[in-house]
Amino acid sequence: MNNKQTKTYWLFLLPSFVGVLLFFVIPFVFSLYYALIDNMGSQSFVGLKNFTDTLTNDLFQSASLNTVIFIALAVPIGMAIALFLAICLRKMKAGRGVATLFLLLPLVVPSGTIVYFWQVIFGNNGLLTETLLKLGFEHASVSQNQWTMGILVVVFLWKNVSYNIVLFWSGLNWIPKSYYENMSIEGAGAWRQFASVTWVYLSPTTFVVLLMSIVNSFKVFKEIYMLYGTYPSQDIYMLQHYMNNQFMSLNMQKLSSAAYIMFLVLAVVLLIIFRVQKKLTEQFY
Amino acid sequence: MKRRIVSIVTLLIIIVAVIIAVFPILFTFSNSFMPAEEINSRYSASIDETNSDDFISHNIHFVRFGIIPEQPTVSQYENLIFRSPQYLRMFWNSVLLVVPVLIGQLILAPMAAYGIENIKWKGKEAIYFTYIIVMLMPTQILLVPNFIVAGWLGIRESYLAIILPALFHPLGVFLTRQQLKNFPKEVMEAAALDGANSWTTYHKIVRPNLSSVVAALVVLLFADNWNIVDQAVVFIKDFYSQPLSVYLGTAVTDAPGMFFAVSVFFMLPAILVFLMGEEHLTEGISLSSVKA
């Protein structure tokens, strides 16, 4: 291929790359400046003061804790359910197309359209409380806020598991059927087939699903906003709410420092996941 | 015998999962044919003469769960279409937010993926790494740079503040490039040897073969942007300029009598797009060649 052609490939990439730089990378780098100054007026440097302020802020701390709890629940449960359903789908002989269609439907249904249903089930006068009362539980024990996080996980997973099913499904389809046939000939049971074929060859997919699940878990803001409005109870006050409060008050210092803290923590988590994935890949191949 | 049991259990699991997936949608659909009075009587927490026979505890009326309307009617839809222009306006707001993003992504993403896949420079993977990092950042972090740029460009109060960053969100480039990796290199090289330049190769050979990932992208991008909440809450201050996806959270308490019809009306376009692209959703996405 000639030199001129190589240059035109850059032209294909350019519009998109300029956009990524302009709308994400450059302003994000620039926001570090905002995180290091005292305010937009005098703009004098205060070192890491905004960072220490944010880290010691009570709201930021409880928001971080709630976000971590939510991710720790929603990500593994969501991945496990999706993988399980994807494997079941693959084992189906008839009706797979219809079943997939229905299972993926929640993916496209906007969060807000289902909110009435969730209120009828989980609301203060909802079906769940009613059932618990009829079973003889005390009213005080069923109407407390401690269940909110659990409810949130259920509502979130209902909508978001299907995305993981799509990803796992595409990964499963890449595993040649003959690998399983060889295993069956050797007399391996379902569990051994899963452990030594599915799990091994699916590991690149699992890794992507894990990464995407972590990003997507922040989308729970939609569900909280629909169910509990702009000011939810303390138990589900997430980093998203903390950020939104700073947006409302246009506090660029708090916004930028919080964004950088979240970015750094996430970067470390991603780095660990990348490393583990690399180790696993070397082990298997 | 054992095999048969396994396949029956599998089927049962799938049936239960399908019911869980579909039931809330079905509930919303069937309740959209209830008159406002029935909805109030069924789901309101306050007790009145219409619902005093239901389960009541601590002075709270508990829901009388129902799928089948007692007096089926299309009155919710009539109210929506003839008496509530704000919903139609917000629906239109959603359209205005989604369509430019879809068009832009479908032009930009495949081009960028084709470009980066064929660039010979070694450092291109560093560029691609930037895409991956941005893709893996949650909306709440990305909103900060978006907010700053919107300030620079003076578009903070406009839809452009949401649309422009969404045009360049890297997920589209990532998924297209994954698909492109399965595309035989020889075909592209043969076309080049035949004298086709890279534009011709792209339009005649590469782009047509990306139809399944493009269809998958349409479904995913439509679903995501039709359900936009976070960005709208930050950027759009005028109440009636909000997309319907945001307003539904308010509508559920403000206008419960027609909420279900509004919801059905709002989920319909997303479901139609899904039905058109569903078969491509699973084949258009390939993650097998992802490496750390």
3-class SS string, B152-164: HHCCCCCCHHHHH
Task: Please report, rounded to a whole number, the percentage of residues in chain B having pLDDT higher than 90.
Answer: 57
pLDDT tens, A92-136?
888 888 999 999 999 999 999 999 999 999 888 888 888 888 888
CB pairs under 8 A between A and B: 327
Q: Does B183 touch chain A (CB under 8 A)?
A: no
Nearest Cα of chain A lies from the Cα of B188 at a distance, in angstroms, of 11
User: Which residues in chain A have their CB less than 8 angstroms from residue B198's CB?
Assistant: 5, 8-9, 12
| B249 vs A104, A106, A112: nearest CB | A112
User: Which pLDDT belongs to residue A93?
Assistant: 80
Residue in chain A lying closest to B233 (CA): A244
Domain ranges of chain B: 2-77, 84-283
Assembly ipTM: 0.90
Please report the domains of chain A, with CATH numbers, ordered by start residue. Answer: 1-36 (no CATH), 51-284 (1.10.3720.10)
The 10 Å Cβ neighbour count of residue A177 is 9
| Domain B84-283 architecture | Orthogonal Bundle (1.10)
* pTM of the complete model: 0.91
Average pLDDT over all residues of chain B:
89
Q: Is A13 in Cβ contact with B119 (below 8 Å)?
A: yes
| B229 vs A11, A113, A221: nearest CB | A221
**Distance of alpha carbon A199 from alpha carbon A192, whole angstroms:** 10
Chain B, residues 83-102, CB within 8 A of chain A, namely none
User: Which pLDDT belongs to residue B187?
Assistant: 78
Chain B, residues 30-59, CB within 8 A of chain A, namely 31, 43, 45, 55, 57-58
Q: Is B229 in Cβ contact with A117 (below 8 Å)?
A: no
Task: Please report, rounded to a whole number, the percentage of residues in chain B having pLDDT higher than 70.
Answer: 98
Tell me if B175 sits within 8 A of B284, measured CB to CB.
yes
**Which of A10, A18, A20, A96 to mutate against chain B (most B CBs within 10 Å)?**
A20
**Distance of alpha carbon A150 from alpha carbon B242, whole angstroms:** 29
User: Which residues in chain A have their CB less than 8 angstroms from residue B219's CB?
Assistant: 107-108
User: Which pLDDT belongs to residue A3?
Assistant: 61
- What residues contact B97, with CB distance under 8 A and at least 6 apart? B159, B162, B163, B225, B228, B232, B243
Q: Name the β-bridge partners of B56.
A: B61
**Distance of alpha carbon B21 from alpha carbon A161, whole angstroms:** 10
Nearest Cα of chain A lies from the Cα of B202 at a distance, in angstroms, of 10
Question: What token pair was written down for A97?
Answer: 């197309």
Question: What token pair was written down for A23?
Answer: 């709308």
Task: Say yes or no to pLDDT of B270 above 90.
Answer: yes
User: Which residues in chain B have their CB less than 8 angstroms from residue A16's CB?
Assistant: 108-109, 111-112, 115, 168, 173
Helix (H) or strand (E) holding B60: strand B60-61
| A222 vs B7, B152, B227: nearest CB | B227
Helix (H) or strand (E) holding B61: strand B60-61
Instruction: Tell me the three state secondary structure of residue B57.
Output: strand
Q: Is B22 in Cβ contact with A120 (below 8 Å)?
A: no
User: Which pLDDT belongs to residue B292?
Assistant: 42
- Which amino acid appears at position B275 of this protein? L
Q: Does B202 touch chain A (CB under 8 A)?
A: yes
User: Which residues in chain B have their CB less than 8 angstroms from residue A105's CB?
Assistant: 21-22, 25, 271, 274
**Distance of alpha carbon B29 from alpha carbon A112, whole angstroms:** 14
Q: Which long-range contacts (CB under 8 A, 24 or more apart) does B75-79 make?
A: B75/B35, B75/B36, B76/B32, B76/B33, B76/B34, B76/B35, B76/B36, B76/B257, B76/B258, B76/B260, B76/B261, B76/B262, B77/B32, B77/B261, B77/B265, B79/B36, B79/B257, B79/B258, B79/B261
Chain B, residues 227-256, CB within 8 A of chain A, namely 227, 229-230, 233-234, 244-249, 251-252, 256
Q: Does B6 touch chain A (CB under 8 A)?
A: yes
Q: Is A255 in Cβ contact with B147 (below 8 Å)?
A: yes
pLDDT tens, B205-244?
888 888 889 999 999 999 999 999 999 999 998 989 999 9
Residue in chain B lying closest to A112 (CA): B248
User: Which residues in chain A have their CB less than 8 angstroms from residue B171's CB?
Assistant: none
Mean pLDDT (10-residue bins), chain A, 285 residues: 70 94 96 89 85 93 95 96 94 88 95 93 87 79 73 94 92 82 78 82 88 93 87 88 90 93 95 88 68
